[in-house]
Chains A and B, each alone.
Chain A
Amino acid sequence: MPFFDLAWLIPLLPLAAFVLITLVPPIGRSRKASYTTALVLLGLATVIAWGVLAQSISEGFPSAPLVTSVAAEAGQEPASEGGHAETAIPTFGNFYHKSFAWAPDGSGFFNFGYRLDGATVLMLAMVTLAAWCIHLFSVGYMAHDEFPAGHQRQSRFFSYIALFTASMLGMTLADNLLLFFICWELMGLCSFLLIGFWFFKPSAREAAKKAFITTRIGDVGMMLGMMYIYNKSGSLTFGHEAGQIYNGEFLESIKTAASLIPGVSAASLMAFLVFLGTVGKSAQFPLHVWLPDAMEGPTPVSALIHAATMVAAGVFLVIRTFPIFAVSDVLPVVAFIGAFTALFAALIAVAQYDIKRILAFSTLSQLGFMVAALGIGAWVAALFHLLTHAFFKALLFLGSGSVIHGMEATVGHDPDKAQDIRNMGTLRKFMPITFLTYMAGFFALIGIPPFAGFWSKDEIILDAFIKHHYVVYGVLTAAAFLTAFYMTRQIVVVFFGKFRGYEPRKAVVAAGHGHDDHGHGDHDDHHHHHEAHDPHESPRSMTIPLMILGLFAVFAGFVNAGFLGIHWFSDYVNPGGEIPDPSYMVAGIATAVALVGAGLGVLTYRNAFKNANDRDPLAGALGPIWTALENRFYIDQIYDKTFIALTYGAGWLLNWIDRHVVDRVVNLTGLVTLFIGRLNFIIDDFSLNTVTDDIGEGTITVGDGVRQSATGKIQDYGAYIFGGVVLLALIYMYAF
């Protein structure tokens, strides 16, 4: 089969779709031509990606990793002295590598290529299929999207998501960290463009900006980490050969080498910096704030970028660089951040009313599960959960999109009304396909056997238990309990009970959604309200993707069903790796916890919300705790008042100093020049011409400037502080 050689086409096909839609006017002008282009080209890419998977299963990958004895020893020898076993360094098994001289400059810095191994190929298969389903869904979902200025923006939408898909696929295939980073940044850009797709809404614009800047903070860390790696190893290529970053000697050297921070090894600093990229992109605490706001984008975008693919890229980044993490000391930090986010986000999700925001916090929480799994060394389980989660979370998001689409028939195109679960109820009768597929996603997410999420989540929890990370185990179990609870709340309130959409909530804007109530003005002008209509099932282009994803949500877990003796997935991505024995006790507890959570959810919400304006039953019981949860622990407000205020404050202060302190030095120079100018004027009286005239005028102006600049104590302080900072820095440079 020729698929390995064709794999470079996988990202290029959607890229071609982007270029065609953007640059060929007949395609760009037509909605139909643009989505057809995107669907066909991405469809081809999907075929190739699954072809690669088939070829790798039937023939295997051709090249074996060059594992030196050092790495092999470090990888296989279990630590004898007590505590946690040393984390194994993965080899990622056999692979296929092809390199292109993109821009030959002799140094190899710009030699780009692609690398296929188990992890990559499964990611490719998932991304292409999920992206294709979401493209198809968008055809129906975006059909009624109209723009105030009458722009033809449908084709723009498809060009953006095609570019996004190309970047994601390019990142997956990348054979080195630089290319990985380039695609990573492009994804960030597409995410920005798509969150702000409805740019006429100020809330969408602000959310886009927030997402871009927040993830960029993490990216800076990742960039510095890459550079540190590059300076130590001489290349950024994924591979075991000398000078590449999986090389055994390299790993051994950075494990002990000191970094510029005392007591921290070079490997730890590298891993920590790279992990910052993950924290930003995968929205882990404390950089999680952008993801819930990113729901301002169209729902297919939320499904594709902010649930299935891009946010999971952070997890994939850690997997790709896992050999460095394995020899570093930062894994406990990773585990802590992941577990904390898993629980923290699950708590917030309990008190949200917006159907998409509940799912957004659920995504945060599930990403926390994956990151925690990485932190305990269980990268195979993390990848497994990444893949199953991508399918069922995309399914849930698209399902919510279908619900919103149906609700709009009743409450109009107002996100505050159409997305508020308190306005819904008994939708199972109106939209049966959406309901059934949503239930599949629901069971997968809360981890009921034999749905996909059960197997992958169980594997993470099992690993935590077996490796004696009992704190992680406990926290994740608590998060799993909350997951079952808030998802059941959502299901009961949305699909059961009485339909409350005929009399939607009055304009009482829920706390934390304060910024949502601007800018819908234009939107409404162009849409008729359909107050009398019932919600309706969505068109076929929307329900077919739901059904495809639904199949995966039900069956995808069987690729690694430990209880049935299947561990194809583990063998495929990590040949020769250790496979944990399944434990009925752990799985039993996990299932029981999920069932209890779901049961409590049913009990609490069975009779809640008779009316759209009712209070949540827990709101009264929890009091201020509920308010804190509803306001997402006030993290956004705290950031506004601290970091953002500080950054702007510093800007104002420095600006003031620049104008009044640094500038005064110039003006002094001006005075001196004025004196010399006068002197010249007397001496050189005869050769007077326009030029010297102008200089004279200029110096007088400068002199005036000096006189005007006020003097006062504060400015002097400013100057002293400022000078002191510079002096200290200089002393530091020369003294150390």
Chain B
Amino acid sequence: MHLIESLPAGIPYLSLIWLVPLLGALVIMFLPKEQKQAMRIISAVVATISFGLGLLVFFAYDPNAAGYMGTKMQFVEKLDWVPQLGMSYLVGADGISLPLIVLNGLVIFTGTFISWNIEDRVKEYFVLLLLLVVGVYGVFMALDLFLMFVFYELAVLPMYLLIGIWGSTRKEYGAMKLTIYLMVGSAALMIGMVAIYVVGGTFNMVELSQRVFSLEFQKIFFLPVFVGFAVLAGMFPFHTWSPTGHVAAPTAVSMLHAGVLMKLGAYGALRAALWLMPNGAQFWLPGIAVMTLMNVVYGASIAMVQKDFKYVIGYSSVSHMGLVMLALASMNETALNGAVMQMFAHGVMTALFFAVVGRMVYERTHTRQLPELGGLMKVMPFAFVVFIIASLSSMGMPGTAGFMAEFTIFTGVMNQYPLVAVVAALSIPITAAYVLRVGYMAFMGEVKDPHYHDLPPLTWQEKFSGTVLAIVVIGVGLFPSIIMDYIATGVQPIAQRMIDLAGR
């Protein structure tokens, strides 16, 4: 008997996952300003509960069972919302969304602990952080296009305030830039969404996915939907918001931002654009594959010459997310598997990177300039070890999550566009080079500043978060099937539809 059958029925598991943090945000809102510790604890508790619920749903999901309307969607909940306009509260999860729901839970779970030291406007900070998380959860589980859009906007808005208030290094500029970009993306998205509704007559994505739009329609409206989401995934040339945003954001926000928020873009592109309009994909994606090549190689090259530690990680995200977009653009099953795997792997790895760089290093040394750092291995060996683990994953070393992701992506891309794969592979040695470069500059050699010897030791919250993320990086690396098996069942129908409708 599968776990799903032993769970009590009638409980809205998916809704609970996002309702719990929302509830937490509401409670914190009504607490007096001085109760900082209580806010932190509440935030940690709701993050833990929603992470736990996410894991429960993940393990309870039965990849072999059929789900909602002949798809693999399980845990489906449906409430009418605006029936006249075909809008409904429709959520469900399949093999693609489940790992990402778990990822979001993991990052907010560790991110809360990383944010323990926030002292300035604690209340607003945690309320916004939890709202951001609610939005992200919603996007990953929404099956109604309009609902997805609402959650998407909900996720983007708190970002602006979080960066603008608690950020560093040109924070207003970073926040504004990010918001403008994402709003431009939303606008494009809106156009596509309305068009789909007008022609399809509903926002229900499952229904829409069983309908075949005309070739002309797909050719015209694939692009705004795809690009609208791809902006959030940092696709070239709409990527410059991302490194600036990462750098400006406070640590936990960088973790969520690079770790999860960018995945919203890739997820949306897969779910809304590729699933609903496969012929549009086949028309546009070969060109887009070339554009993503810019992300992959260009991002890696730029990462290699940065002086700011966070910029290196920021541009490495551009490069790694480029691989995800490239995999989406390759459209075959292997590549799509790799894309989702990479979303997960990159999310965990980059959260770990930002935890080390933003919190452990920057908040102690108060500089992220690589030439001013050095010898930190002696001062904070724990930070060094987890940084190395994240680095290994970043360069795709076997035994870490990054290997399976990168390997699967390249196998898929090689099948579709061999030349593109060859060029994209240039990024692999470049990645090794920049990762080793920053590792050497920050951690090796002599301690640059004698004050570094007196830095406060790492707190247990930092060590706890770092350890959890590092364990996931290695655990998924050693047993990729934990996630791969789910992803494969989720991706298969999309890839199959792509094949069925090819050559129309």
Contact = CB atoms under 8 A, between A and B. Distances in A.
A205 B397 CA distance: 19
B76 interface: no
Contact of A220 (B294, B419, B429, B445): B429
Nearest to A192: B436
Interface stretch (B50-58, B296-304, B363-371): B296-304
A650 interface: yes
Contact of A213 (B239, B294, B399, B429): B429
A107 B404 CA distance: 15
B315 to A, nearest CB: 8
B253 to A, nearest CB: 16
Interface in B297-318: 298, 301-306
A726 B291 CA distance: 7
Contact of A695 (B176, B287, B429): B176
A287 B179 CA distance: 46
Contacts of B180: 666, 669-670, 673, 702
Nearest to B298: A654
Contact of A662 (B240, B421, B422, B436): B240
Contact of A227 (B291, B395, B414): B414
A317 to B, nearest CB: 16
Contact of B418 (A260, A650, A654): A260
Contact of A149 (B289, B294, B378, B488): B378
B284 to A, nearest CB: 11
B150 interface: no
A652 B307 CA distance: 11
A413 B440 CA distance: 25
Contacts of B241: 666
Contacts of B493: none
A705 interface: yes
A670 B177 contact: yes
Interface in A631-661: 647-648, 650-652, 654-655, 658
Interface in B212-250: 237, 239-241
Contacts of B306: 655
A231 B411 contact: yes
Contacts of B407: 178, 223
Contacts of B445: 202, 205
Given A647-B304, A666-B241, A224 B414 contact: yes
B481 A110 contact: yes
Contacts, number: 152
Interface in A191-229: 199, 202, 205, 209, 212-213, 216-217, 219-220, 223-224, 227-228
B290 interface: yes
Interface in B245-294: 286-287, 289-291, 293-294
A666 B302 CA distance: 19
A182 interface: yes
A305 B304 CA distance: 29
A185 B398 contact: yes
Contacts of A662: 237, 239-240
Given A103-B479, A730-B287, A730-B290, A666 B240 contact: yes
A91 interface: no
Main secondary structure on B side of the interface with A: helix
Interface in B419-443: 419, 421-422, 425-426, 428-430, 432-433, 436, 440
Contacts of B287: 730, 733-734
B301 A651 contact: yes
Interface in A137-186: 149, 178, 181-183, 185-186
B77 to A, nearest CB: 29
Contacts of A105: 481, 484-485, 488
Interface string A658-684: 100011011001100100000000000
A220 B293 CA distance: 16
Nearest to A196: B444
B240 A698 contact: no
A305 to B, nearest CB: 17
Interface string A97-111: 000000111110010
18 contacts: A105-B488, A178-B407, A185-B398, A202-B445, A205-B440, A209-B440, A216-B428, A223-B410, A650-B301, A651-B303, A651-B305, A666-B240, A670-B180, A694-B175, A701-B172, A702-B176, A734-B286, A734-B287
Instruction: List 8 tightest A-B contacts by C-beta distance, closest first.
Output: A698-B176, A103-B481, A651-B305, A182-B398, A227-B414, A651-B301, A729-B290, A651-B304
